Structure 1
Amino acid sequence: MNIVHIGVADAILSVMESEMRKLVSVLPFGRLDRGTGEISGVMAAVCGGLTCLTVTAMVWPDYLTTPGLRHLWALIDVRSAITAGLIATYAFALWNIANRVRNRGAVIGVGMGALAFALGGPDAKPVSAGSPLLTIGLDWLILGVLTTGPLFIAVEKARPLRRRQPIFRAKWTTDAIYFVVNHLLVGVFAIVTLWIASHAFGWAKIDRVAAWVQAMPLAVQFIVMWLVIDFVFYWGHRAFHEHRLFWRFHSVHHSAEKMDWLASSRLHFLESLFTRSATVLPVYLLGFSDAAIGIYLVYIGIHATLLHVNADITFGPFEHIIVSPKNHHWHHAKEAEGVNKNYASQFAIYDRIFGTYYNPDHWPKAYGVMANDVPQSFKGQLLHPFTKRDHTGWAAAKPPRRS
């Protein structure tokens, strides 16, 4: 990567990060205090933003919705949902005004609501664009905000691990940017990973094997898929820790110093592309049914986020079989005894078999990269693997050689 390429990439990332931070700056840092208008302001901004995004996706569905989700939207009364969103937006904003509270969130919410009306509101008409090769997963982002956020925030509030850690904790904006970008790029990742699997390994796919796999009961397909994918993930994940080049990318994920549901989104997009390509390959070659794949995707989405939550959740005796939040928190720990442990994402027995299992009774005290050499900004983290840093964090984290 030459100086010109780095300069162009740096300029693009600077603009993107600046705009994203402006977007999330309407939300307060730290705790939400009652009587200050912060809660109603946040709700106005969120409702207004989601409503505006929904209308936008409805106007340009061919570009801004995921093909695999369009059948789901057909089952939902989207226009009624838009109406409800607009009502909620202005209700929260009016609450601010009635209580004479000045809050930027309420102002942004009103602005987003006005933009939604300008685009057609509940009566917006879709504009046909044919079948573009790549799509932006705006609908996937909307679905993620509506489901993932409320679900896991509720879990964290019900069983908090670190009670003094607020929802809007330090560096949450960096993780929010990852959350948005990763959701928007879901369609791009799907196209690229399937293209790699079909073009590079299409010769290895055997139709008789696929027919045999699809003849299995759905529950059996799910279990087989679960075991196979996590076996591949285990060794890929281990490689990202134990090889200097790969660690440059994976250290971005481990740079999170606060664990919660949003921290699970902090992942360099090239690592994400590699991991998805590696785990899609056995699914493609073995030919699992669409139903089994759909069930697995829902499960993995929930479980992967659960592993990072700021919640005191253990699986009791099942922790020796299924990876739990405590088990994965130790994977992110700064304590030396937790370094390069617990590589599995689902099936803890793999760590037990290959000697990387560590799960004491207590939780770790601190998280992050031991060398503290990873920038905390979105732009800095995307460029981090390509800089001329020594990446000493790899040396600090690398396990001793076996004699």
Structure 2
Amino acid sequence: MSDVSKHKLTQQVIDRTLKAPIEETRELLQRDGELKPGLGKISSVVALSLGFLSLLGVLAFHFPEYLTTPDLRHKYSVDTLRQLLLVALLVAGGMSLANIILGRMRRLSMVAFALVIVATVLGGSRVPVGDFPDHTPYIGLDWFILDLLGSTLVFVVIEKLFPLYKGQSLFRKEWQTDLKHFAVNHFIVGLALLVVNFLLHHLFGWLVRSDFQQFVQHIRFVPQLLLCVLVADLAQYWAHRAYHEVPFLWRFHAVHHSVKTMDWLAGSRQHMFELIATRVCVLAPLYILGFSEAVMNAYIIVVGFQAVFNHANVHLRWGPLKYVIVTPNFHHWHHASDDEAIDRNYAAHYAFLDYLFGTAVKSPKKFPERYGVVGDYMPDGFVRQQLFPFRGSTKPRDPEA
């Protein structure tokens, strides 16, 4: 065999062993629709996801000062995280190896198994963590991993138990775009908090009165939390309403409204400008009033849960509570493109605010017929949606284009 033939043969082997699995993985990540059981796709996707997140977790152990969130790293147990990482590696490795042996989704499983091997070689769950500086720039990789795992485990189960649309697939159309929004929003949390903190102190610091803050902090926990949520929601309501009624601001908010399928991931679609601006508007009054740290921590949990839950593919009977708190039924109407839903249901926590200000949806229908922006003019793709407010057109999309 000539040297040229040997080179071609070697290249073919490399293509089959390396390029083919990567191409298959890339192709799978570009698909949407239901995963049918019994073909190895579900276990392969689980193995691939856990393998990838495990590798990210190992990197976070190696570089905690740059990849972990300061507020979180002081609260969680490193030993517990090591155990979770070990379990994830074992599950991902076991699933991918079993599929390789059984010949099910072998190429995809090879990629998942390779991720497990790389994570293990880099130290796995035994990476030592020494002393490190606490005031370095960071991208919140740990928050991304924990939130993605937690949200997937909790909200996917809730959606399957109490679905509004029973035939809706977990991997619905444009899920890839919203996952990118989810990731970027978490990775820039450090930058966002830095900007928000700077703006709050420089724009609103002069309004702070320590005696009044002491009065607020001495209110009992539950009424103080309810007051905190009310203050935040009043700020959220008027900021949200401005996004709808001011054309320039709508171009940013239209990104969030462009999602056409509601589920737990849909709320992640958001322009970075809106992400930061809304946090300033909402946190400024909370900062001025000086709510206690315990109440603020509780509020963060409340807003984090409702932000995901109210976009979820969930239907429950709420009774009279539907007039008091914002539920998925209430917020789905806000995302609808039905005529009676346009510029309605602005509240994020307390539904009675919309009834008080006359912006609650009034419709004989139980559920919306369609979602998204009227005219469906928003392009798909994270980068194009971030650029849309500056150069995109709000003219209705040509269905034949």
TM-score, structure 1 normalization: 0.88
Give the superposed CA RMSD. 2.0
Match of 1:343 in 2: 346
State the Cα distance separating 1:93 from its structure 2 match: 0.6
Note if 1:254 corresponds to 2:257: yes
Assess if the C-alpha contact under 8 Å between 1:80 and 1:122 holds in 2: yes
Note if 1:47 corresponds to 2:50: yes
Matches within 5 A, 1:161-240: 161-240=164-243
Assess if the C-alpha contact under 8 Å between 1:253 and 1:266 holds in 2: yes
Assess if the C-alpha contact under 8 Å between 1:26 and 1:104 holds in 2: no
Match of 1:319 in 2: 322
Q: Which AA in structure 1 matches 2:88?
A: G
Runs of 4+ in 1 over 4 A off after TM superposition: 22-28
The count of residues paired between Structure 1 and Structure 2 equals 373
Match of 1:243 in 2: 246
| Range that drifts further, 291-300 or 28-37 | 28-37
State the Cα distance separating 1:48 from its structure 2 match: 0.8
SS at match of 2:75: helix
Q: Which AA in structure 2 matches 1:315?
A: W
Match of 1:370 in 2: 374
State the Cα distance separating 1:28 from its structure 2 match: 5.2
Q: Which AA in structure 1 matches 2:307?
A: A
State the Cα distance separating 1:24 from its structure 2 match: 9.1
State the Cα distance separating 1:366 from its structure 2 match: 0.6
State the Cα distance separating 1:44 from its structure 2 match: 0.6
Assess if the C-alpha contact under 8 Å between 1:326 and 1:359 holds in 2: no
Structure-1 separation of matches of 2:42 and 2:392: 44
Structure-2 separation of matches of 1:148 and 1:377: 22
State the Cα distance separating 1:377 from its structure 2 match: 1.3
Matches within 5 A, 1:6-25: 25=28
Structure-1 separation of matches of 2:52 and 2:75: 21
Structure-1 separation of matches of 2:178 and 2:392: 24
Assess if the C-alpha contact under 8 Å between 1:60 and 1:127 holds in 2: no
Structure-2 separation of matches of 1:384 and 1:73: 39
| Range that drifts further, 228-237 or 190-199 | 190-199
Assess if the C-alpha contact under 8 Å between 1:63 and 1:129 holds in 2: no
Structure-2 separation of matches of 1:186 and 1:366: 32
Structure-1 separation of matches of 2:324 and 2:150: 27
Deviations along 1:79-116, one digit per CA (max 9) or x if unpaired, are: 22222111111111122123211245422321221221
Structure-1 separation of matches of 2:380 and 2:74: 39
* Shift in CA distance, 293/110, structure 1 to aligned 2, threshold 3 Å: same
Q: Which AA in structure 1 matches 2:220?
A: P
SS at match of 1:261: coil
State the Cα distance separating 1:277 from its structure 2 match: 0.8
* Shift in CA distance, 281/151, structure 1 to aligned 2, threshold 3 Å: same
| Range that drifts further, 260-269 or 116-125 | 116-125
SS at match of 1:72: coil
Aligned mate of 2:384, from 377, 380, 383: 380
State the Cα distance separating 1:73 from its structure 2 match: 2.5
Matches within 5 A, 1:123-162: 123-126=126-129, 130-162=133-165
Structure-2 separation of matches of 1:275 and 1:247: 13
State the Cα distance separating 1:392 from its structure 2 match: 4.7
Matches within 5 A, 1:349-364: 349-358=352-361, 360=363, 362-364=366-368
* Shift in CA distance, 104/369, structure 1 to aligned 2, threshold 3 Å: farther
* Shift in CA distance, 61/322, structure 1 to aligned 2, threshold 3 Å: same
Larger Rg: 2
Structure-2 separation of matches of 1:94 and 1:295: 42
SS at match of 2:74: helix
Assess if the C-alpha contact under 8 Å between 2:340 and 2:362 holds in 1: no
Structure 2 unaligned segments of length 5 or more: list them: 1-21, 397-401
Structure-2 separation of matches of 1:31 and 1:254: 24
| Range that drifts further, 131-140 or 33-42 | 131-140
Structure-1 separation of matches of 2:77 and 2:347: 37
Assess if the C-alpha contact under 8 Å between 2:144 and 2:186 holds in 1: yes
Q: Which AA in structure 2 matches 1:186?
A: V
Match of 2:75 in 1: 72
Deviations along 1:248-269, one digit per CA (max 9) or x if unpaired, are: 0000001001010000100001
Structure-2 separation of matches of 1:35 and 1:239: 50
Match of 1:87 in 2: 90
Structure-2 separation of matches of 1:374 and 1:388: 8
Structure-2 separation of matches of 1:258 and 1:76: 39
Structure-2 separation of matches of 1:316 and 1:268: 34
Assess if the C-alpha contact under 8 Å between 2:30 and 2:176 holds in 1: no
Match of 1:333 in 2: 336
Q: Which AA in structure 2 matches 1:362?
A: K
Assess if the C-alpha contact under 8 Å between 2:34 and 2:169 holds in 1: yes
State the Cα distance separating 1:313 from its structure 2 match: 2.5
Structure-1 separation of matches of 2:194 and 2:61: 22
State the Cα distance separating 1:78 from its structure 2 match: 2.3
State the Cα distance separating 1:34 from its structure 2 match: 1.2
Structure-1 separation of matches of 2:158 and 2:340: 28
Assess if the C-alpha contact under 8 Å between 2:237 and 2:346 holds in 1: yes
Q: Which AA in structure 1 matches 2:341?
A: G
Q: Which AA in structure 1 matches 2:46?
A: M
* Shift in CA distance, 232/392, structure 1 to aligned 2, threshold 3 Å: farther
TM-score, structure 2 normalization: 0.89
